[in-house]
Structure 1
Amino acid sequence: MAEAANVVRLLLGSTTLWLSLFGSETASASKAVTAHLAAKWPETPLLLEASEFMAEESNEKFWQFLETVKELAIYKQTESDYSYYNLILKKAGQFLDNLHINLLKFAFSIRAYSPTIQMFQQIAADEPPPDGCDAFVVIHKKHTCKINEIKKLLKKATSRPRPYLFKGDHKFPTSKENLPVIILYAEMGTRAFGKFHTVLSEKAQNGEILYVLRHYIQKPVSQKMCLSGYGVELSIKSTEYKALDDTQVKTVTNASVEDEVETKEVQGFLFGKLKERYSHLRDNLTAFQKYLIESNKEMIPLKVWELQDLSFQAASQIMSTPVYDAIKLMKDISQNFPLKARNDRM
């Protein structure tokens, strides 16, 4: 029994080694080429892309969604990417039906709203952001990342130029527009965003300010955004050339074509048989044959006598043809009726 067990172990070990070698050879022999296309900007958070999807639905849904995900990003540190993805869909499902959830999934798959997030990131870079701030506000050209300085900067805000607002800016719902504007640059879902949002939304509800949100990611990831919907094909061209004498091939081809023409009827003449019987007139018959073939290509109006009983002649030809070829012949006659009527005289 001990010897048998040793033999089995030896066989299993050999089999495992052989499979591992086979797998490595297969992998090394693979000629597959994979490629991906990356954008110039870093990968953007799905939560921000989901908010832009909500904004397209309505401004009201955007702010409702924002309230439910104020500090959702903290779960990203403890959850897997897939779990975090499902959590975002679950939060969005509170405001969307199944159809729009599927559209949101599709938007995620092609990263449709990533350029919008990058646009806000570029706008924030032009401010520029204060050093070491996870989030900051701009109050009529004045910057701060401290909440306790907002009240101070608001006092003389109206004396400074009013900031330009873009079409894609997210404005907190308010009944008044002629108010001091506070633009918050922050990443939705973070604690820094949550603190600023609580203060600014309260002031906006009290009619003190016009609250505008723009996405800002303080520390973008190093990985570039991979673009979906692009395919790459690798074509390998053979540079092997072969010398071939085509004179013989051409001669054989011409001979076969000529034999095929000889067997066909040309406007009622069987030139193959005529050339056999009158071999001394072969050149004249060939010239006449070419003339008839060329004349077939001209669409000359039919004579009156050529139009007599055409339908009967067509039906007669079709009925006299074997069953398997009848449909093919009927199609040929119907598609080339004038030519058939003149050349074949049905």
Structure 2
Amino acid sequence: MGTNLRSVIYVFLLLFVVVFTVNAQNRRPKNVQVAVKAKWQGTPLLLEAGELISKESKQLFWEFNEAWLGSDGDSDCKSARDCLLKISTQASALLAKPVASLFQFSLTLRSASPRVVLYRQLADESLSSFPHGDDPSASHCCWVDTGSSLFYDVADLLPWLASPPTCISLDASAGGDAAQGPELFDFDHVHFDSKAGTPVAVLYGAVGTGCFREFHLSLAQAAKEGKVTYVVRPVLPSGCESKTRSCGAIGARDNVSLAGYGVELALKNMEYKAMDDSAIKKGITLEDPRTEDLSQDVRGFIFSKILDRKPELRSEVMAFRDYLLSSTVSDTLDVWELKDLGHQTAQRIVHASDPLQSMQEINQNFPSVVSSLSRMKLNESIKEEILSNQRMVPPGKALLALNGALLNIEDMDLYMLMDLAHQELSLANQFSKLKIPDGAIRKLLLTTPLPEPDSYRVDFRSEHVNYLNNLEEDDMYKRWRSNLNEILMPAFPGQLRYIRKNLFHAVYVIDPATVCGLESIDTLRSLYENQVPVRFGVILYSTQLIKNIEDNGGQIQSYDAETNAQVKEDISTMIIRLFLYIKEHHGIQTAFQFLGNVNRLRTESADSSEEDIEQQHVDGAFVETILPKVKSPPQEILLKLQHIVRVHIQRIALLYNFI
């Protein structure tokens, strides 16, 4: 009897489980879920995080890799979410606080996935360039490409590192049988200890694999010793997901989901049903009290305070609220009640604790809330702000601004917006490092940026600028009007106003011993002779002298007999000294004529190449320029100036060394 009863109970439990499973499978969600997938295979989030960090600094990329290789913190990560939080925490520790707040969002957008796919394509090209490998069918997770061979094992790489090639040539036109190394790109991660001119070794692999750690330690040590140029191209080859750490393959198994793209589904239900929804069932609410903003007034009631006082009556209170929202009593609005309905709706959204959620609920349930919106007391300040915005933005148009800079909505996407936000946060972080107050930083970010981000400004009042003309004092401009109201007079588009004021300045920063610099002088003089209403000036510098100062740690070297020979070869310094001498004794016009003569003699010389400016051109231009203006021979003046230059530089060197 007991056995039969036990069998009946087992059969009943089995039937219950089967029925419950079938019912659970039949209860499928009715909502439609749409995902836009990329064509390429997924890329690891860990590698994408390294690419995002490298945008801040090339050094941070290596610090992130070193920190990940030196920690075993991902052993306790049980899910993809745990790995995402671990990667974000590890990266945020290296980033500034404003930029770190944007890092996790950029990582979830998978914005760096195309860069990792690019490395994957370069890895395929690297393998295909050596079809006769030791074992082409084997799946290698890491290898080193030196241009002439591939190394899949550290033991095979060590002899090459011990005696790498002495010369690597990337120039196809170079002669000889020198080995050609891999081609490097601007986005490559070059180790900070690498020295230019050393053989290139490119490591293909992913952080988290055992082979990457072994290759990295050997190549980093070789780079410190100045043997190789160590480059990393992060890639996780197919089939190596199981050979990496728990978080190293997260995101690599499925295709990448693309975010920031809108999808429109035009669905229409052809089955029409008549339903009576006027009756509100007791205890059933129309809206979710967990997401609805209950602090708003509904026909004189503030339900957040009522629920605080009577929490045990939540269902009844919410039913009463839904009745007020859906009741047909007084739902007929008069014409004057519709006058400020748009302003009242905007006011409720702005004052809501969750504006986006409030906007969604009003859009979806507008007929049921329109009555309460019409009875809301309108704040005049909000109305004035809305009217001000409407005067600035045409009807039917939208405006998007980031820190006062207007953005083109038609050409803007989510990734471009993220890049702009990243630039603004990085700029704010640089300002904060200068101890600038937050209020001043906001004002600086709101200023209009320069039309060219790479341009810089020079103070035109500086004494180091040698001006060719002065529109306010020179005789050639005395017939021009000096009234600034001339700016308001009509003129051809793009034409400058001929006003006797120094309104526009053009300052050229040039090396007078270069072809580009001398050609700029000819262009400047041509514009001046054609009376262009601009004040022209130049700042002259010596490229070789600056290089010598940088090589000497920012100090001017002491000049002995050997270095005096180097001074003679610095044609830029000599041209600058002669220019200043002529300017002081014969005027600025004659000084610019001297620079023009140097370029003319260079072009007329038959035995000189196009890019060379020789000492004889400088001497000849100096003699030709001042010959009509002096009584003594110009050659003697030139020799005296050369001697003065050497003595003057020696004094400067002694002064700097004393300091």
| Smaller-chain TM-score bracket | 0.5 to 0.7
1:143-222 alignment, distance < 5 Å: 143-154=150-161, 155=163, 157=165, 158=167, 159-174=178-193, 176-219=195-238, 221-222=252-253
State how far apart, in whole Å, the 1-side matches of 2:82 and 2:32 are.
Answer: 31
Residue number in structure 1 paired with 2:417: none
State how far apart, in whole Å, the 2-side matches of 1:192 and 1:185 are.
Answer: 10
The CA deviation at 1:77 is 8.4
Q: Does 1:236 align with 2:267?
A: yes
Q: Which sits farther off after the overlay, 85-94 or 203-212?
A: 85-94
> Structure 1's 77 and 40: CA in aligned 2 closer, same or farther, altered over 3 A?
farther
What is the CA deviation profile of residues 168-224 of structure 1, one whole-angstrom value per residue up to 9, with x for unaligned ones? 100001362100000000101222111110110000011110000001212264411
1:268-287 alignment, distance < 5 Å: none
The CA deviation at 1:76 is 6.1
> Structure 1's 76 and 186: CA in aligned 2 closer, same or farther, altered over 3 A?
farther
User: 1:181, 1:211 within 8 Å by CA — same for their partners in 2?
Assistant: yes
State how far apart, in whole Å, the 2-side matches of 1:85 and 1:237 are.
Answer: 39
* Partner SS for 2:69: coil
Residue number in structure 2 paired with 1:333: none
Residue number in structure 2 paired with 1:98: 97
1:61-100 alignment, distance < 5 Å: 61-70=60-69, 75=74, 79-100=78-99
> Structure 1's 164 and 197: CA in aligned 2 closer, same or farther, altered over 3 A?
same
User: 2:198, 2:229 within 8 Å by CA — same for their partners in 1?
Assistant: yes
> Structure 1's 233 and 208: CA in aligned 2 closer, same or farther, altered over 3 A?
same
State how far apart, in whole Å, the 2-side matches of 1:79 and 1:64 are.
Answer: 25
State how far apart, in whole Å, the 2-side matches of 1:134 and 1:175 are.
Answer: 24
* Partner SS for 2:186: coil
State how far apart, in whole Å, the 1-side matches of 2:98 and 2:179 are.
Answer: 46
User: 1:179, 1:209 within 8 Å by CA — same for their partners in 2?
Assistant: yes
The CA deviation at 1:45 is 1.3
Residue number in structure 1 paired with 2:356: none
> Structure 1's 156 and 73: CA in aligned 2 closer, same or farther, altered over 3 A?
same
Aligned mate of 1:137, from 144, 152, 160: 144
Q: Which sits farther off after the overlay, 148-157 or 78-87?
A: 148-157
State how far apart, in whole Å, the 1-side matches of 2:73 and 2:124 are.
Answer: 24
* Partner SS for 2:40: strand
State how far apart, in whole Å, the 2-side matches of 1:105 and 1:227 are.
Answer: 16
User: 2:92, 2:103 within 8 Å by CA — same for their partners in 1?
Assistant: no
What is the CA deviation profile of residues 47-68 of structure 1, one whole-angstrom value per residue up to 9, with x for unaligned ones? 1111111111111111111110
1:43-54 alignment, distance < 5 Å: 43-54=42-53
The CA deviation at 1:36 is 0.8
Q: Does 1:127 align with 2:134?
A: no
* Partner SS for 1:33: coil
State how far apart, in whole Å, the 1-side matches of 2:202 and 2:191 are.
Answer: 11
What letter is aligned with 1:69?
A: W
Counting matched residue pairs gives 228
User: 2:140, 2:152 within 8 Å by CA — same for their partners in 1?
Assistant: yes
The CA deviation at 1:80 is 2.1
User: 1:53, 1:113 within 8 Å by CA — same for their partners in 2?
Assistant: yes
User: 1:70, 1:193 within 8 Å by CA — same for their partners in 2?
Assistant: no
> Structure 1's 156 and 109: CA in aligned 2 closer, same or farther, altered over 3 A?
closer
User: 2:188, 2:233 within 8 Å by CA — same for their partners in 1?
Assistant: yes
User: 1:52, 1:113 within 8 Å by CA — same for their partners in 2?
Assistant: yes
User: 1:136, 1:186 within 8 Å by CA — same for their partners in 2?
Assistant: yes
> Structure 1's 184 and 77: CA in aligned 2 closer, same or farther, altered over 3 A?
farther
Aligned mate of 2:254, from 223, 237, 252: 223
* Partner SS for 2:180: coil
The CA deviation at 1:237 is 5.2
User: 1:172, 1:204 within 8 Å by CA — same for their partners in 2?
Assistant: yes
Q: Give the TM-score, by structure 1 length.
A: 0.58
* Partner SS for 1:137: strand
The CA deviation at 1:40 is 1.4
What letter is aligned with 2:156?
A: E
State how far apart, in whole Å, the 2-side matches of 1:48 and 1:76 are.
Answer: 18
State how far apart, in whole Å, the 2-side matches of 1:206 and 1:153 are.
Answer: 14
What letter is aligned with 2:147?
A: H
What letter is aligned with 2:58?
A: N
State how far apart, in whole Å, the 1-side matches of 2:97 and 2:194 are.
Answer: 32
State how far apart, in whole Å, the 1-side matches of 2:139 and 2:200 are.
Answer: 23
* Partner SS for 1:95: coil
State how far apart, in whole Å, the 1-side matches of 2:120 and 2:70 are.
Answer: 20
Identity %: 29
What letter is aligned with 1:223?
A: D
State how far apart, in whole Å, the 2-side matches of 1:195 and 1:48 are.
Answer: 18
The CA deviation at 1:75 is 3.0
> Structure 1's 83 and 222: CA in aligned 2 closer, same or farther, altered over 3 A?
closer
Cα root mean square deviation, aligned: 3.4
User: 1:71, 1:191 within 8 Å by CA — same for their partners in 2?
Assistant: no
User: 1:110, 1:227 within 8 Å by CA — same for their partners in 2?
Assistant: yes
Gaps of 5+ in 1: 1-15, 241-323, 328-346
User: 2:194, 2:223 within 8 Å by CA — same for their partners in 1?
Assistant: no
User: 2:43, 2:113 within 8 Å by CA — same for their partners in 1?
Assistant: yes
User: 1:71, 1:190 within 8 Å by CA — same for their partners in 2?
Assistant: no
More helix by share: 1
User: 2:199, 2:227 within 8 Å by CA — same for their partners in 1?
Assistant: yes
What letter is aligned with 2:255?
A: K
